[in-house]
Structure 1
Amino acid sequence: MDPKPKQPVTVTIDGQEVTVPEGTTVLEAAQRVGIPIPTLCHDPELSNPGSCRLCVVEIELNGRKMRNLPPSCVTTVSNGMVVQTLTETVRKTRKKILELLLANHPKDCLRCERTGNCRLQSYAYEYGADFPQSGSALDGERQNYAVDDSNPFILRDMNKCILCGKCVRACGEVQGRFVLDYAHRGFATRVAPEMDRELRDTACVYCGSCVSVCPTGAIIEKNKVGKGRAWDIGKVRTTCPYCGTGCNFDLEIARRSDSKGQTREEVIGVASSIDAPVNGRALCVKGRFGTDFIHHRDRLTTPLIKKDGQFVEASWEEAIAFAASRLGDIHAEYGGDAFGVLASAKATNEENYLLNRFARTILGTNNIDHCARLCHSSTVAGLAASFGSGAMTNPIEDIAKTDFMLVIGSNTTESHPVLALSMLRAIRQGTPCVVIDPRKTELAALAHKHLPLKPGSDLALLNAMAHVIITEGLYKEDFIKTYTEGFETLCEAVTETTPEWAESICGIDADLIRDTARRYARAQRGSIYYTMGVTQKHTGTHNVMAIANLALLTGHIGREGTGVNPLRGQNNVQGACDMGALPNVLPGYQPVTDAGVREKFARTWDVKIDSLSERPGLTVGEMLQGAHEGRLKSMLIMGENPVVSDPDSQHVIEALERLDFLVVMDLFLTDTARHADVIFPACSFAEKEGTFTNTERRVQRVRQGIQPVGDSRPDWQIIGDLAAAMGSPFPYRDPASIMDEIAETTPSYGGISHHRLDKEGPLCWPCPAKDHPGTPRLHMNGFVRGKGKFHAVPYLPPAEQPDDEYPLILSTGRRLFHYHTGTMSRRSGLEEVYPEEHLEIHPDDADDLGLKDHDWVRLSTRRGAIEIAVWMTDRIVAGMVFTSFHFVEAMVNKLTNAATDPIAKIPELKVCACKIEKIDCPEGYVPPAHKRVLW
């Protein structure tokens, strides 16, 4: 039942009349008309305890003054209420409250890191409050707690704590962690981690929410200590370079002059802001504490050319000329088919668009791809075939509007931590959630139900759910008749896929499958979220189509709180796809086979249409195979690290070594860059302008905070320099002008420009015109392809099954504290928290093999072997082992299967057969003292 509408209430505050909805607090009403009231314990994102009392006001109601001064943060308005916020009595009361707080506060304001950014200090100045004089009634015993600096990120000095409780509430109410709470009583009361332990010994995930809300110097960030006061620090709003959630934050930049009078710039950290459109003030550990890589000693700062097997420094002029000459020679001898180009989900939209133009017009090839091939290429293919668009259908905010969540193949709290906060909040508020995953992830542990299916059996379960919905008449008949096609084909295909049949394949009780299907179908607003547990299979495209089938059957598409929502992995993997970093389409998913499309781009790029190939190019796997066979002669790789990220790493290394010429643009000397002939030092996100597009299709600005480190250059400039050296200079003066051309050629970006994003904020594509508001939800007025299409997708087992020689299944994924191949996250304080990888193994399998925690094993598949320590856990199904691909020391992608989906060409990274042999621990090995167990 809809809640009763709130009635308007009119009050007068400091002589100003204001009308607000009933239930509004006096503080909120005052803020609406710009009247400031001081607060210490209040926060708009948290519950209101009304404990600090600093926000007291005088209130008159019906001609009578309230006897006490009520706190405005918890006092709701009433019609006719008259409020005074600055009377003499109010000011004296606030001053006394501040003096009481200062009575037990260290007298070190001149040395405190928060000076200039401390609300207690600011209010003390405003109200004339001071530390108690010696011998006064308030000058008594003070607390003397030890400072907790046990972790690499956060300093906790509880001597400066004013017990406002904001950190406690942020940890519990926003993060759902409940690591912090009040301990002891009376004068001894303080905020402490669970069981009064150090933070490193708790379930703290170092999100920094406690830091972001602390009004004093009680909780501060270590990396900012000694780097400058508030007035020394500049701020630049930008977008996070890690996952696809697309969090915004302010880069905090210290600028100092050295002895020669030159200005030195340093990114000392980030600050979150309540007005960030996606995340508000929330960040994860990587976003808040993972930016150390910007100034890491390993940064490439000058071009490198390999001579006699060794890299030597070169000038930009020499390196560009050399690369252009070699590329030109290869093109002259072999033509465009001899080249392969890898774009980057870490680079901006503008840079990916430019590399796309470079590949198609100068190298003359459609052999361009990027890491989406390894994560969501099956999403692009599957959803495009079903709906007409291969993107997330609904915005993140719709998680709060759904009444049933189905999460499949997504370890959301570790892969998309801030987005997961919305899921966790919904679960706490009673939204049913079913998680389908072989591992009992944190989200699975908190969900209504966890279905721990056998790895690789997703399609059997999804088809069984479709069977239940159809045979029990739970489908939306009117929706299907009006908006879909192919229903009869699906009905026939799932006739025999009963829950009992699926149970025999995936190991999930048939009644659980029925219950899940019924819950999803009967929901008013059901939504599905998935990631690479679904897509990284040789049946990945069919898995996605099966998910789309469920949404089409139930009508859970094109409305608030519904949708099919693939969560994008990297910060700009959505944008790289949008910009045409795929072998079969130009920007905006416009097919290379369409003559009209080629004619449009030929006109824009000032080339002959015949020079743009109509033949789709090679995927990254096909390029590497071509290099291995000698057909591909040269590759240009921008910000990708396929040696670590791609399956069968030894095959990748051999392929790169067989190239005649390899050019790499990157921040660091990655394992891929080591095989290059020329390396161009690129800029990080903090050193350039542009845009990223997040998982919900939200185009957001990336802004330059500092000058390029060393002699590095942004990728768009490097590409432009190469183009000019090869005789085809590009006309762009800056990234904004590149985006202007993107808008001209790419219909879904037609109304987007840097100027508009700076003025109005982020926009979700499709945004076809300059006055279009953007499209947060897709398919609200019908499907892009005309009608949604059902697909018959029969179950197929994994490409590689366990056998007597390789009896276990290996699966891979991500960890909260690291990212992708570790090139950024492992060059930060994150490495201290999570310094090495381990192999998760079920206790039953460990017992069979005689293993215990921290024993070392040789993990082998048909493609190779690695050595790694084991960790026993019942959070995975028996018969399966799991580890991440972040650590080159345990390069698990030496082992994974390169068998691919025939449609999307995505490799089956999630399932391959393996075996384990116990070996001796490496000499001197010491297990980590603090195992990061997050729940």
Structure 2
Amino acid sequence: MTNSISDIHDADVMLVIGSNTTESHPVLSLQMKAGVRKNGAKLILIDPRKIELAQFAHLHLRHTPGTDVALINALAQVILAEGLHDQKFIDDRTEGFEAFCEAVRDWTPERAALITGVPAEDIRKAARLYGNAKSAAIFWAMGITQHTTGTDNVKSLANLALLTGNFGRPGTGTNPLRGQNNVQGACDMGGLPNVFPGYQSVIDDGCRRRFAEGWHVPYEKLSPNPGLTVTEIMDAALKGTVKGIFIMGENPMLSDPNLSHVEEALREVDFLAVQDIFLNETAEFADIILPAVSFAEKVGTVTNTERRVQLTRKALDPIGNAQADWEILIKLANSFGAGWHYENPAEIFDEMAKLTPQYQGMSHERLESGGIQWPCPSPDHPGTRILHTEKFTRGLGLFSPVDYIPPAEEPDEEYPLILSTGRVLFHWHGGTLTRRSPGLDELAPYPEVEIHPEDAAQLGIGDNDSVKVHSRRGVISARARLTDRSSPGIIFLTFHYAEAPANLLTSSAVDPIAKIPEYKVSAVRLEPGMDTDQE
């Protein structure tokens, strides 16, 4: 997030797109609702489904999944046509404006309506509401990024904020709501295949030399070639170029797209190690399983969606042979002759901070008194609540012209419906933790597929019936839930249930830049299934 969660209360307008905030980020959603109820903020919701947050929205644009760029370009076109843009901000702090204007000139609301299914007048209302706000904040989640056009989707939202000068002030900004509680921290620390910690590029000679010196390894040992993403690793395993995989705290046999492809890849590798706190579906394929510990059994830090680094403290002793991840990794590295001698997580954090500019002013000792938002460049720096107050990381903010590209797989005669996947409040990702909680599993004990009553009537499907969902990649069974939360032609399915894995249906198609799979748009068909005794 460019801004802080508390900034929500400073926003005149909130634009929430591709985020079922109530169910995926429930605590943050309370802040949004309070902003509407107590502060009089206006909420623009852009989501194909009638999610709970729609009750608080002043405008709800229900677009067809995968048409985000067309809709956002049309919002920008109206803002420009009606003179609602911030010309001074554009002149002082951006570049590329002319090319952007040319790119969106023909994206009239009428044109976008034909693609998105959103009435042209509603597009105009949303553009005016956002464009007239003194302080407007944009929030999004995986409904924006999990597309083959995910990078373009994000760029188009950044264009909208640049166009209206909504950066660098309270209640503004572009604010991605991260998908896991420490995915921000993992990315910050180099959990991406093309960067070192601090988003320092592996292809940059200076970065490699800096890390070679800091890690006390020969410069030649640090490859200048970016690594593979998760989906690329599976492809490489099938080609025989990846021989072994080490998986930590992840369950690709439930969370990755096109699970038949994933299973084939995991069976193909010569060696698979899984490090986790439970035996999950992926561990069934493992040659070796290393028992890890939960957050309550180790010391470390987590970095949340607002860039706040927080210290976690050990509350319980590990059970049996389980060990903290850092202890396991040190033993493995030293078995290969690495010669690592870290005594505790605080020592590891100190090394990371020295090499990561955003973290240089932090330490475990300092974090004992509370979380700090990066960048924090020195020990006396208070942390940074709002980014880009005076300039952007690159200097001037860059407008990025983007055009609408359809999803990789669209409905057709054989597979006439769109499947979009997501979450429910009571479960988390593959359910490794939440489905082991009797209280939570009782609240959402079995998989349901949301179907609009019109579609169900055409297929002879009743509420609570068992149905089969087919795609080009597989078939699963689930219970039908007839509801107008999903629009006609669109069904919704969660991915928490191993007995009905939604990702058996999803496509391996990925965004060409970010390599994120298109979980939100797959072509499927429905048919009545056998009666189920699920209770």
TM > 0.5 fold call: yes
For 1:631 and 1:594, the matched residues in 2 are separated by 25
1:593 pairs with one of 203, 211, 231: 203
Q: 1:786 aligns with which of 378, 395, 403?
A: 395
Give distance in 1, aligned partners of 2:142 and 2:203: 29
In 2, Cα distance between the equivalents of 1:604 and 1:490? Answer: 42
Aligned residue among 462, 465, 471 for 1:861: 471
1:604 positional shift:
1.4
1:495 to 91, 105, 114: 105
SS in 2 for 1:691: strand
Aligned-residue offset at 1:556:
0.5
- Give the drift of 1:407: 0.4
State the alpha-carbon separation in 2 of the partners of residues 618 and 743 from structure 1.
Answer: 25
Task: Supply the distance in 2 between the matched residues of 1:754 and 1:734 (Cα, whole angstroms).
Answer: 11
State the distance in 2 between where 1:730 and 1:827 align. 36
CA distance in 2, matches of 1:896, 1:618: 20
CA distance in 1, matches of 2:529, 2:28: 40
3-state SS of paired residue (2:366): helix
**Partner in structure 1 of residue 355 of structure 2:** 745
Corresponding residue number in structure 1 for 2:443: 833
Deviations 1:440-461 (A, max 9, x none): 0000122111111111111110
Q: Distance in 1 between matches of 2:487 and 2:10?
A: 32
1:567 Cα deviation (Å)? 0.3
Distance 1:472 1:446 in 2: 27
Structure 1 unmatched runs, 5+ = 1-391, 929-935
- Map of 1:419 onto structure 2: 28
Q: Residue 686 of structure 1: CA displacement?
A: 0.3
The aligned counterpart of 2:433 is: 824
CA distance in 1, matches of 2:199, 2:207: 10
Question: Residues of 2 paired with 1:530 and 1:877: CA distance?
Answer: 21
Choose the corresponding residue for 1:769, options 378, 381, 386.
378
Q: C-alpha distance in 1, partners of 2:251/2:172?
A: 36
Once the two structures are TM-superposed, the CA of residue 462 in structure 1 deviates from its matched residue by 0.2
2:264 to 638, 641, 654: 654
Correspondence for 1:631 among 241, 248, 265: 241
What residue is the counterpart of 2:367 in the other structure?
Answer: 757
Of 792, 804, 811, the match for 2:413: 804
- Which residue of structure 2 aligns with residue 560 of structure 1? 170
Q: For each residue in 1:159-193, what CA deviation from the matched residue of structure 2 results, as whole angstroms up to 9, or x when unmatched? A: xxxxxxxxxxxxxxxxxxxxxxxxxxxxxxxxxxx
Partner residue, 2:132: 522
Q: Percent identity at matched positions?
A: 56
Match of 1:509 in 2: 119
Matched, 1:688 2:298: yes
Q: TM-score, normalised by structure 1?
A: 0.57
Deviation at 1:781, TM superposition (A): 1.5
Quote the Cα distance in structure 2 between the aligned partners of 1:745 and 1:639.
25
Quote how far apart the aligned CAs of 1:731 are: 2.2
Alignment of 1:251-266 (within 5 A): none
1:732 and 2:380 matched: no
Q: Secondary structure at the match of 1:889?
A: coil
1:608 to 202, 218, 237: 218
What SS does structure 1 have at the residue aligned with 2:281?
coil
Amino acid paired to 2:291? P
Q: How far is 1:854 from its partner?
A: 1.1
Name the aligned partner's letter for residue 320 of structure 2.
Answer: G
Distance 1:731 1:483 in 2: 47
1:839 CA drift (Å): 0.3
Partner residue in 2 for 1:316: none
Which of 270, 279, 282 is 1:669 aligned to? Answer: 279
AA of the residue aligned to 1:910: K
SS in 2 for 1:517: helix
- Matched residue of 2:50: which SS? coil
AA partner of residue 18 (structure 2): G
Q: Write the distance in 2 (CA, Å) between the matches of 1:646 and 1:438.
A: 23
Please state whether the residue corresponding to 1:397 is helix, strand or coil. helix
For the aligned residues, what is the CA RMSD? 0.8
Structure 2 residue aligned with 1:408 = 17
Letter in 2 for 1:705: A
User: C-alpha separation between the residues in 2 aligned to 1:833 and 1:903?
Assistant: 38
In the other structure, the counterpart of 1:699 is 309
Q: Which amino acid aligns with 1:818?
A: H
**Residue matched to 1:476:** 86
Larger RCO, structures 1/2 (Cα 8 Å, 6+ apart): 2
Match of 2:55 among 422, 440, 445: 445
SS of aligned partner of 1:450: strand
Residue identity in the other structure for 1:775: T
* C-alpha deviation, 1:729, in angstroms: 2.4
Task: Verify: 1:883 aligned to 2:493, yes or no.
Answer: yes
User: Partners in 1 of 2:356 and 2:450 — Cα distance?
Assistant: 45
Paired amino acid for 1:640: E
Q: Which letter maps to 1:566?
A: P
Residues 101-112 of structure 1: matches in 2 within 5 Å?
Answer: none
Counterpart-to-counterpart distance in 1, 2:319 and 2:430: 22
| Separation in structure 2 between the aligned mates of residue 553 and residue 485 of structure 1, nearest angstrom | 11
Aligned residues: 533
Provide the rounded CA distance (Å) in 2 between the counterparts of 1:471 and 1:426: 29
Counterpart mapping for 1:454-473 below 5 A:
454-473=64-83
Between the aligned partners of 1:663 and 1:702, the Cα distance in structure 2 is 27
Query: What secondary structure, in the 3-state scheme, does the structure 2 residue paired with 1:665 have?
Result: strand
Give the structure 2 partner of residue 571 of structure 1: 181
Instruction: Give the distance between the partners of 1:535 and 1:679, measured in 2 at CA.
Output: 32
Q: What is residue 160 of structure 1 aligned with on the other side?
A: none
Q: Structure 2 matches for 1:210-289, cutoff 5 A?
A: none
Instruction: Return the alpha-carbon distance in structure 2 between the equivalents of residues 519 and 437 of structure 1.
Output: 17
Matched, 1:870 2:512: no
Residue 666 of structure 1: CA displacement?
Answer: 0.2
Q: Which runs of 4+ in 1 moved over 2 A?
A: none
